[in-house]
Chain A
Amino acid sequence: MGLKEWVYKRSPLPEMWREHMAEYYAPKNFNIFYYAGSLLLLMVALQFLSGFLVLAHYIPSAENAYNSVFGIMYDVKYGWLMQYMHIDGSSLIFVLLYVHMARGMLYGSYKAPRELVWLIGYTLYLVFMAESFFGYVLPYSNLSYWAGTVITSLLKSIPFIGGWVTTIARGGPGISGDTLGRFMALHVTLVFILILGLIAVHILYLHKVGSNNPDGIDIKENKDSDGHPLDGIPFHPYYSVKDLSGFGVWLFIFSAIIFYAPTFHHIFLERTMSTPANALKSLPDVTPPWYLSPFYAMLRSIPNKTGGILVMVFAVLVPFILPWLDRNPVRSTRYRPVTRIMLIIFFINFFVLAWVGEQPPLPKFFLTERLGTAIYVGFFLLLPIVTMFEPTRKPPARVRYRAH
């Protein structure tokens, strides 16, 4: 008995490899949008690496945090590279998250039997928001300080215990060195481990029910004599190799951003990040990072303080029930033109909200803000009605696929 067999008899890994890689059959008609999932795995791994390396030089205290971050930029060998990898990486993770979610919405990937995959995935998106929030308070710039103040003060609106929760979150009456300590602990341990765990659960739940595809049809309904789906191919080697080539293209784009546009015209790294925290000098206008600004625009669009918070919370949470809002049994919007048009308007509107959320709070933007909020909320309100009556084409029996 060779060493290989000796290990095989004792290891669970060969069986896991077969179940999730070599004998996991994925539809053969994946398109470019299906790269986003594997690229997200790559980016989380890279964030871990760059984060680990900048953490080695970071000091979580009110006196030293800002200077230690500048030290990473100017004194640490290749510190600038690690720092920009981490900053641009966080923005690119949100680019990929939005592409990944938009793909799921276009092809009905949230629909039965994949509702739990959507729920876990959307939770993951919210946890990424928390992770990035804790991350951008850590440099203790003036933007960090005021963003931390504004976001933690939202906790005050929790009924009865809001004040106490806010104090616990800040470790004192306001943002201070004590806040940095607990935010760093959250950023590098609790929330990060939660992300890793949820990614594992997301993939396991996906592999239980199988991947969806652009045609939104069930490949398990057409099987060959061996019991494998006729329209499916083993994930390894077909998609593992395809994803690796995707990694190559993506890393090319990622490095181009890091080397040639590291702040991405101050969208990925705001100008106000370059002044130290100052409790006596509030920013002229505190705008959130681009990936949260659609929700901020909706908060601002309502002239009433509590009403604004309620609309924002609704906007953030309502995608959770998307699987139950969509009443059409056909998954892919390739065969549901009305939903597809609604989705395209929804996506464009999301960009408009992101843009207007970054503008100063001037009356000339109010109409855009309110219209954008109405379209965002209107999409979710109209969806159950439209999907019950919309004209639907019959999807093909087998996936549409052209060999290349």
Chain B
Amino acid sequence: MTEDIKNTQKSIEPQTSPAVITRRRFLTAMTAVTGTAVAGAVVVPMVQSLEPTAAASALATTTVDLTPIEPGMQVTAMWQEKPIIVINRTPEMLATLDETMQKGLLKDPNCTVPQQPPYCKNKYRSRIPEWYVGIRICNHLCCIPHYRPKKGSVAPWWLGGFHCPCHGSMYDLSCRVIKGSPAPHNMAVPEYEIDIAKKKVVVTHMYPLAHLC
């Protein structure tokens, strides 16, 4: 019996030997590394399952039919949960764009802040002067501005444009922000394709440098 106990003690003793400790540390490290790798591999699909679904991504573009939009009219459509405004501007309306610049009313008349794709960096802020396509969200705190095309409708000097009901931001008919508004920048313009022959606009994706609100 005593012999047996001695033998057992002998087999226990080497547990504290450096070789065993090294082996144990190696095993612990291996388990930790493998465990972390497995957890990391599982987290990726788990987080990705929260990304927008294929169905939601399929709704990413919006097509607007231009046929019913007569000169001076506007249409608001939904694109990626955001309102998109399409305006058919008359020559008189286009003339106000120069007038606002001449009177020095605008914060950024030459559109130097990239709130629009390069092909829209002009006073019309559009591909084709008559047709304005833009996101109808105020640059200040995400409200939906009212369309006020009539002269003098917001203030005696008003030339037509947008007026935000929340905090009073004002924009001209190219959605360029007017001085004295709390909004810092012009309203954003998304990337879009326009086909005058087929009378349609396809809003494709957000212009990445533009700042919504």
A residues at B contact (CB < 8 Å): 149-150, 153, 167-168, 171-176, 178, 182, 279-282, 284-285, 361
Chain B, residues 43-72, CB within 8 Å of chain A (1/0): the string is 000010011110010000000000000000
Q: With A280-B76, A281-B144 known to touch, is A172 a contact of B56 (CB < 8 Å)?
A: yes
A150 nearest CB neighbor, chain B only? B142
Contacting pair B82 A174 (CB below 8 A) = yes
> B167 on the interface (CB 8 Å rule)?
yes
How far, in angstroms, from A153 to B56 measured CA to CA in the complex? 19
Contacting pair A282 B52 (CB below 8 A) = no
How far, in angstroms, from A280 to B136 measured CA to CA in the complex? 9
> B33 on the interface (CB 8 Å rule)?
no
Q: For B82, what are the chain A residues with a Cβ–Cβ distance below 8 Å?
A: 173-174, 279
How far, in angstroms, from A182 to B51 measured CA to CA in the complex? 11
Contacting pair A168 B81 (CB below 8 A) = no
Contacting pair B83 A279 (CB below 8 A) = yes
A-B contact pairs, 15 of them (CB 8 A): A153-B142, A153-B213, A168-B47, A168-B50, A171-B53, A171-B56, A173-B80, A178-B56, A279-B81, A280-B76, A280-B78, A280-B144, A282-B165, A284-B166, A285-B166
Tell me the interface secondary structure of chain A in the complex: loop
Q: With A153-B213, A282-B144, A282-B166 known to touch, is A167 a contact of B52 (CB < 8 Å)?
A: yes
B60 nearest CB neighbor, chain A only? A173
Contacting pair B144 A167 (CB below 8 A) = no
A279 to chain B, nearest CB (A): 6
Give the interface size class of chain B: 20 to 34
A62 nearest CB neighbor, chain B only? B81
B79 to chain A, nearest CB (A): 9
B213 nearest CB neighbor, chain A only? A153
B143 to chain A, nearest CB (A): 4
Contacting pair B165 A172 (CB below 8 A) = no
Q: With A150-B142, A168-B47, A282-B144 known to touch, is A174 a contact of B56 (CB < 8 Å)?
A: no
> Nearest 8 pairs between A and B by C-beta?
A174-B81, A173-B80, A282-B143, A172-B52, A172-B56, A282-B144, A168-B50, A280-B83
B198 to chain A, nearest CB (A): 26
Q: With A171-B53, A176-B56 known to touch, is A361 a contact of B167 (CB < 8 Å)?
A: yes
Q: For A282, what are the chain B residues with a Cβ–Cβ distance below 8 Å?
A: 142-144, 165-166
Q: For B144, what are the chain A residues with a Cβ–Cβ distance below 8 Å?
A: 280-282
How far, in angstroms, from A175 to B51 measured CA to CA in the complex? 13
B165 nearest CB neighbor, chain A only? A284
A126 to chain B, nearest CB (A): 22
B residues at A contact (CB < 8 Å): 47, 50-53, 56, 76, 78, 80-83, 141-144, 165-167, 206, 213
Most chain B CB within 10 A, of A175, A282, A361, is at A282
Known: A171-B51, A172-B80, A282-B144. 4 other contacts (CB 8 A): A171-B53, A280-B78, A282-B165, A285-B166
Q: For A149, what are the chain B residues with a Cβ–Cβ distance below 8 Å?
A: 142
Q: For B78, what are the chain A residues with a Cβ–Cβ distance below 8 Å?
A: 279-280
A184 to chain B, nearest CB (A): 14
B117 to chain A, nearest CB (A): 18
Contacting pair B81 A172 (CB below 8 A) = yes
Contacting pair B83 A174 (CB below 8 A) = no
Q: For B52, what are the chain A residues with a Cβ–Cβ distance below 8 Å?
A: 167, 171-173, 178
Q: For A280, what are the chain B residues with a Cβ–Cβ distance below 8 Å?
A: 76, 78, 83, 144
Most chain B CB within 10 A, of A167, A182, A279, is at A279
A143 to chain B, nearest CB (A): 14
Contacting pair A171 B80 (CB below 8 A) = no
A176 nearest CB neighbor, chain B only? B81
Q: For B80, what are the chain A residues with a Cβ–Cβ distance below 8 Å?
A: 172-174
Q: For A182, what are the chain B residues with a Cβ–Cβ distance below 8 Å?
A: 50
How far, in angstroms, from A282 to B81 measured CA to CA in the complex? 13
How far, in angstroms, from A178 to B52 measured CA to CA in the complex? 8
A185 to chain B, nearest CB (A): 10
How far, in angstroms, from A168 to B56 measured CA to CA in the complex? 13
Q: For A173, what are the chain B residues with a Cβ–Cβ distance below 8 Å?
A: 52, 80-82, 206
B162 to chain A, nearest CB (A): 13
B206 nearest CB neighbor, chain A only? A173
Q: For A153, what are the chain B residues with a Cβ–Cβ distance below 8 Å?
A: 142, 213
B147 to chain A, nearest CB (A): 12
How far, in angstroms, from A150 to B144 measured CA to CA in the complex? 13
B136 to chain A, nearest CB (A): 8
B121 to chain A, nearest CB (A): 23
How far, in angstroms, from A284 to B78 measured CA to CA in the complex? 21
Q: For B213, what are the chain A residues with a Cβ–Cβ distance below 8 Å?
A: 153
A168 to chain B, nearest CB (A): 5
